A and B are shown apart, each in its own frame.
Chain A
């Protein structure tokens, strides 16, 4: 649900994809933009009033934050309540978004005041209707986003993002990426957020949007060299105290991984050539303890990506140092479901580990469905699942990896470009095989 739902059903006419884009990612916006913007313009007059009304409501909470910074958390709560009561659907969305930035150290929160504005405005920034109806407000939001990164990062002299104005589509994509890489991580892990800010800064040097990113990797890399300074900022702000319990290595891994975000947009358009140039992900540590415990932590987190409880999908999570890879297996006699993780998985990035774990859990979901379709008959279900044809296996791999990477992308608010590249290439290799075996390209 989003602001579009507040405008007399127009969102339904514009399509579900647009409604979703209004809430979330630049990727979806990119896909939906071309087909929806003309419809959006046609309906702009009808919706402009509603959109601007939502703006006015959002400005009120911004004013509270500015005037009562020391009582910030209280005012944010108050503002959220006000928006819930007075903002209709749009207010509920804004309320939820503002909630994303709660629970962090006040010192960082103060510096991130602009982020509240970004959170407040992201729905509009990624909303084609809003661009059609109210472009000036969106331009102001983009400038606000730029100031936010500059204030938080303090790691480089940022170019004024005025070039965004000439490219609204690129603006929307960049704004969505800002949201993905900053706000979500800020909520999940402030230390990681700061790393994300460093990555995001790189995009300010992208002239004209996505396509030109590769050409300017040198400047982006220069900025990313300042990640160490960003880490110092995080230390000074003592954000670690408010983060989840995590090893230092894990948090540093998160920083390094998110530094790669600078090339994420480019990587999605050009495979991950830019990403390889800009930054590489580093191993990430899930949980604490030995690898058996951490394997369980990976699978638990992977299950979250699927919106499931791991215990409902698997009976055993095993770390096997001698295994060549992760795997999902069901004991034909007992029905015991086991996910095995190998040593190499622990050397992957956070996203890499989660995609590996989620991939196997998607297979566990498939087993759940196959067993159900066989009325619980273990023997026949087992054959259907594990003695499948080559074509079925190929199709399943396309579907499984795609679902895994999408789920992890959603969970993390974006994944590192190298992981996107890996998953894309893996999927494409199986797409080719599907067609070689006489099937059609898996949609």
Chain B
């Protein structure tokens, strides 16, 4: 369907957005609750761990740097179709106080 706002995002791009607390319902734009965001963040971490063989917890910046620098994964993570919009949003989320609040919650009560 194409994820509204991100277009033809790749799976890794979607995982990272979800790790940042984004709710990526195709075409959707409804505001999400904390519980919903925490849930997708957990699922995203599991999927990223499964796909990469690494685990950086809920540390979005660590995952971001890892994927950018991994020869095998960088291509999919920076895939051109949606990368511009994805990168812009990831950059925003890295310092987003609300996401950092959710990350702290997950680290305190995993």
Residues in chain A within 8 A of chain B (CB atoms): 323-330, 342, 344, 356, 359-360, 363, 385-388, 393-394, 396-397, 401, 422, 425-426, 429-430, 432-433, 436
Q: A325 with B5: in contact, given A386-B26, A436-B47 (CB under 8 Å)?
A: yes
Q: What are 9 A-B contacts defined by CB distance under 8 Å?
A: A324-B88, A326-B2, A326-B8, A328-B2, A363-B1, A386-B1, A388-B1, A433-B11, A436-B51
A327–B85 Cα gap in the complex (Å)? 13
Judge whether B11 and A429 touch: CB under 8 Å.
Answer: yes
Query: 0/1 per residue, B57-81, Cβ < 8 Å to A?
Result: 0000000000000000001100111
Chain B residues whose CB sits within 8 angstroms of the CB of A426 once the complex forms: 8, 10, 79, 81
Judge whether A325 and B75 touch: CB under 8 Å.
Answer: no
Tell me the minimal C-beta distance from B26 to chain A in angstroms.
5
* Residue from B7, B11, B28, B79 within 8 A of A325 (CB atoms): B7
Tell me the minimal C-beta distance from A343 to chain B in angstroms.
10
- Beta-carbon nearest neighbor of A329 in chain B: B27
Tell me the minimal C-beta distance from A52 to chain B in angstroms.
49
- Beta-carbon nearest neighbor of A345 in chain B: B7
Chain A residues whose CB sits within 8 angstroms of the CB of B27 once the complex forms: 327-330, 386
Judge whether B26 and A388 touch: CB under 8 Å.
Answer: yes
A433–B76 Cα gap in the complex (Å)? 12
Judge whether A324 and B76 touch: CB under 8 Å.
Answer: no
A422–B83 Cα gap in the complex (Å)? 13
Of all A-B residue pairs in the complex, the 7 with the closest CB atoms, nearest first, are A325-B7, A324-B85, A433-B11, A329-B27, A429-B10, A327-B2, A324-B5
Chain A residues whose CB sits within 8 angstroms of the CB of B6 once the complex forms: 324-325
Judge whether A436 and B82 touch: CB under 8 Å.
Answer: no
Judge whether A325 and B80 touch: CB under 8 Å.
Answer: no
* Interface footprint category on B: 20 to 34
Judge whether B7 and A326 touch: CB under 8 Å.
Answer: yes
Q: A325 with B8: in contact, given A330-B27, A344-B84, A429-B79 (CB under 8 Å)?
A: yes
A385–B4 Cα gap in the complex (Å)? 14
Judge whether B79 and A327 touch: CB under 8 Å.
Answer: no
A219–B80 Cα gap in the complex (Å)? 29
- Beta-carbon nearest neighbor of B88 in chain A: A324
Judge whether A327 and B7 touch: CB under 8 Å.
Answer: yes
**A-B interface pairs (CB < 8 A), number:** 79
* Residue from A325, A344, A387, A422 within 8 A of B2 (CB atoms): A325
Judge whether A430 and B2 touch: CB under 8 Å.
Answer: no
Judge whether A385 and B1 touch: CB under 8 Å.
Answer: yes
B50 contacts partner chain A, Cβ-Cβ < 8 Å: yes
Judge whether A359 and B75 touch: CB under 8 Å.
Answer: no
A422–B82 Cα gap in the complex (Å)? 12
A327–B81 Cα gap in the complex (Å)? 12
Chain A residues whose CB sits within 8 angstroms of the CB of B26 once the complex forms: 386, 388, 393
Query: 0/1 per residue, B8-26, Cβ < 8 Å to A?
Result: 1011100000000000011
Judge whether B10 and A363 touch: CB under 8 Å.
Answer: no
A436–B15 Cα gap in the complex (Å)? 13
Chain A residues whose CB sits within 8 angstroms of the CB of B28 once the complex forms: 386
Judge whether B82 and A397 touch: CB under 8 Å.
Answer: no
Q: A329 with B4: in contact, given A388-B26, A394-B11, A436-B47 (CB under 8 Å)?
A: yes
A327–B2 Cα gap in the complex (Å)? 6
A386–B12 Cα gap in the complex (Å)? 20
Judge whether B8 and A386 touch: CB under 8 Å.
Answer: no
A385–B28 Cα gap in the complex (Å)? 11
Query: 0/1 per residue, B27-50, Cβ < 8 Å to A?
Result: 110000000000000000001001
Judge whether B82 and A325 touch: CB under 8 Å.
Answer: yes
A324–B1 Cα gap in the complex (Å)? 14
Q: A327 with B4: in contact, given A387-B25, A426-B79, A429-B79 (CB under 8 Å)?
A: yes
Tell me the minimal C-beta distance from B54 to chain A in angstroms.
15
Chain A residues whose CB sits within 8 angstroms of the CB of B75 once the complex forms: 425
A324, A385, A393 pick with most chain B CB within 10 angstroms? A324
Chain A residues whose CB sits within 8 angstroms of the CB of B10 once the complex forms: 426, 429-430
A83–B81 Cα gap in the complex (Å)? 47
Chain B residues whose CB sits within 8 angstroms of the CB of A344 once the complex forms: 84
- Beta-carbon nearest neighbor of B77 in chain A: A429
Judge whether B1 and A325 touch: CB under 8 Å.
Answer: no
Judge whether A342 and B7 touch: CB under 8 Å.
Answer: yes
B4, B47, B82, B88 pick with most chain A CB within 10 angstroms? B4
B1, B51, B85 pick with most chain A CB within 10 angstroms? B1
Q: A363 with B2: in contact, given A324-B7, A324-B85 (CB under 8 Å)?
A: yes
A356, A393, A430 pick with most chain B CB within 10 angstroms? A393
Judge whether B1 and A422 touch: CB under 8 Å.
Answer: no
Tell me the minimal C-beta distance from A431 to chain B in angstroms.
10
Chain A residues whose CB sits within 8 angstroms of the CB of B11 once the complex forms: 394, 429-430, 432-433, 436
A324–B50 Cα gap in the complex (Å)? 28
Judge whether A325 and B85 touch: CB under 8 Å.
Answer: yes
A330, A426, A432 pick with most chain B CB within 10 angstroms? A426
